[in-house]
A = this chain, B = another copy of it.
Amino acid sequence: MSEPWLISLETETPQAGWELAIKLSRMSVKATQPSDEVRGKLRAAYDQDTAQLIASSQVIATNFQTVAAANGWWR
């Protein structure tokens, strides 16, 4: 995680903010399990598991709160 990937929380549109929230969620999984190979294998298991899909949505929702606040809710 040495190369910079998070320069700013500001985005032009709500949708770009939403996509940033998804990126934050994925980067946090990567922080705990850095191996692309292992994550690739694991993905096959969890994207068919609704409990885990919902838990992933919870992480995205939490990160979207942060990004939306950072952008003054794009008002």
Task: Name the distance in Å between A20's Cβ and chain B's nearest Cβ.
Answer: 10
Task: Name the distance in Å between A35's Cβ and chain B's nearest Cβ.
Answer: 9
| A residues 12-36 touching B (CB-CB < 8 Å) | 13-15, 18-19, 22, 24-25, 27-29, 31-33
Nearest-CB residue, chain B, relative to A47: B33
By the criterion CB–CB under 8 Å, are A22 and B31 in contact? yes
For chain A, the count of residues having a C-beta within 8 Å of the partner chain is 53
A6-B14, A61-B63, A62-B65 known, 10 other contacts, Cβ within 8 Å: A8-B14, A28-B56, A29-B57, A32-B47, A42-B48, A42-B50, A45-B50, A51-B55, A55-B58, A66-B68
